[in-house]
Amino acid sequence: MTLLTDACSRRILAVYLTFDPPSYRSCMMVLRECVRRHSRLPQIVVVDGGREFQSTYFETLLARYESIKKTRPAAKPRFGSVCDTAVRNCQHPVRPQSEGQHTDHSPGPSGDRVGDPKGQAVWPFEELHQRLAEYAYEVYDTHQPPGAWPDSTRSV
């Protein structure tokens, strides 16, 4: 799962889901999804030090459309908290609804694990992508995430 988030509003701008490992392709596809949804690219893209963000193709795309790429400092986890929180929040509501997945993993009377989801979870890729996008664009967008900007009506 590749997410593109807005750091100020903490809104998820685009989500791209694939079985492939992280690569410049997934980064470019999430930017494509952002353009499809919002008709524009972000002016500044902040990335971590991953190899997929150092690709010539990725950097050329950003340069062509005059987007600035900034790399967050290595070993400074506080700079990635917005993205990490968004990824964690997107995984939580989708995971428990998987068919065949149960929360009870305690050993049963015969010693085998009861409700062990290994090999039982069945979810077609299209449906998973649809539910993830629905959550990211509709549900996550409507709730105020922890640590979001305070209300302007709140007294200090």
At residue 86, the pLDDT reads: 58
Residue 154, domain member (yes or no) = no
3-state secondary structure of 52: helix
Strands 12-16, 2-5: pairing is: antiparallel
Residue 129, domain member (yes or no) = yes
- Mean pLDDT, rounded, of the chain: 74
Residue 150, domain member (yes or no) = no
Residue 11, domain member (yes or no) = yes
Residue 15, domain member (yes or no) = yes
Give pTM, 2 decimals. 0.66
Residue 135, domain member (yes or no) = yes
Residue 147, domain member (yes or no) = no
pLDDT at 150 over 50: no
Residue 32, domain member (yes or no) = yes
Neighbours of 123 (CB within 10 A): 16
Q: How many domains does the chain have?
A: 1
**Max Cα distance, the chain (Å):** 63
CATH of the domain at 12: 3.30.420.10
What range does the domain containing 95 cover?
Answer: 2-99+122-142
At residue 59, the pLDDT reads: 92
